[in-house]
Structure 1
Amino acid sequence: MAEDHIRYDILAQEALRGVMRKVLQEVQRTGLPGNHHFFITFLTGAPGVRVSTRLKERYPEQMTIVLQYQYWDLKVTDVGFEVGLSFSDVPEKLEVPFAAVRGFYDPSVNFELEFDVRTDEPVAGDVTPLPKAETPKPQAAPRSTPKPSAKKPEPALEKAPADADKPAEGEGKGADVVSLDAFRKK
């Protein structure tokens, strides 16, 4: 096989990251439309990722966040995004470069993107801790129920209400964090 001097693989990854960036920019501008919501998996040790020391200790390699019911201050740039989320009732601010994202999934329409994350540079100790975010300003979004996964996820956020009117007993208002492997076709 001939050597790929153009590097189509890198160009395709950049184009697909552009899809994710454009979607997040639109959500930043107008909020989540319809039942859309996102599971975003990223490497916590990738260059440029900024999470609190508490989250880095709990998720030393990667974590998945859910943008659905309770998030605030979503800011999207050409190179990444930052967002406020609550983890066990503790508000946190996360900064994630698009280059650190491994997966983007919208279960409302079964749309999934997977990315190769370059780890050429050392990632250990590269995370810059952030202070805890100030008072959260949740953005309301229509409620929907994510498709059930085959695996029991390791929660990073509190569980989302089972229906729109009242939370299920013992559940909070966040959402489960699950790995994208749970959504991949077997």
Structure 2
Amino acid sequence: MANSIDYGNLMHSAMRGLIRKVLDRVAADGLPGAHHFFITFDTMHPDVELADWLSDRYPEEMTVVIQHWFDNLDVTDDGFSITLNFGDSPEPLYIPYDAIRTFVDPSVEFGLRFETHVGEEDDEDEDDDAADGDVAEFDEATHERPATPERPAPTGDAEIVSLDKFRK
């Protein structure tokens, strides 16, 4: 049994499941209304499949847009394949969900970002301490979230007030 619950990976799995469900719907029914997607992915991921000229042009990451013209959208449990138009040249792509770095639908101001942690495979204990951009950290010793520029550290002189004090 693990020493702790890996909320970061659980959250990423849930977010990737959301992307799969959205793409499943689009594959079945097309894009509804003004919806469209910007998907940025790691072109170096071992399971990504794209034309050599695209991987040469985008050696680290690439953003694709699913909007007006796309074809052959096939959604699986591990990723999706799609044909997109690059300068009047249709190109098939396969993008595993694990390669996705961002998924944005600007029509409704929705976005997901997947953070990667340097040295994930080197030291599993670092995963417990590493902050995911979409998941709040929690300090087990103080039972508080750590201070950030947006959230100052607790001062310790807070007063606990009972609501009964304000009841008539």
Q: Deviations over 1:116-140 (max 9, x none)?
A: 347868xxxxxxxxxxxxxxxxxxx
Q: Deviations over 1:35-86 (max 9, x none)?
A: 0000000000012000000000000000000000010000000000000011
The equivalent residue for 2:31 is: 32
Q: Deviations over 1:124-166 (max 9, x none)?
A: xxxxxxxxxxxxxxxxxxxxxxxxxxxxxxxxxxxxxxxxxxx
Q: Deviations over 1:73-107 (max 9, x none)?
A: 00000000000011111110000000000000000
Q: 1:58 to 1:51 in 2, by over 3 A?
A: same
Structure 1 distance, partners of 2:42, 2:23, is: 18
The equivalent residue for 2:69 is: 70
Higher helix share: 2
Question: SS state of the match for residue 42, structure 1?
Answer: strand
Letter in 1 for 2:48: V
The equivalent residue for 1:102 is: 101
Would you identify which runs of 4 or more consecutive aligned residues in structure 1 move more than 4 Å?
117-121
Letter in 1 for 2:51: S
RMSD: 1.8
Q: 1:97 to 1:117 in 2, by over 3 A?
A: farther
Tell me if the contact between 1:38 and 1:68 (Cα under 8 Å) persists in the aligned partners: yes
Structure 1 distance, partners of 2:30, 2:37, is: 12
TM-score where L is the length of structure 2: 0.67
- TM-superposed CA distance for 1:4, in Å, is 6.4
The equivalent residue for 1:115 is: 114
Structure 2 distance, partners of 1:39, 1:25, is: 16
Higher relative contact order (CA closer than 8 Å, sequence separation 6+): 1
TM-score where L is the length of structure 1: 0.61
Question: Any unmatched runs of 5+ in structure 2?
Answer: 122-168
Q: 1:118 to 1:101 in 2, by over 3 A?
A: farther
Question: Any unmatched runs of 5+ in structure 1?
Answer: 122-186
Q: 1:59 to 1:29 in 2, by over 3 A?
A: same
Letter in 1 for 2:45: A
Q: 1:92 to 1:14 in 2, by over 3 A?
A: same
Residue pairs, 1:8-19, within 5 angstroms: 8-19=7-18
The structure whose Rg is larger is 2
- TM-superposed CA distance for 1:30, in Å, is 0.4
The equivalent residue for 1:156 is: none
Letter in 1 for 2:101: R
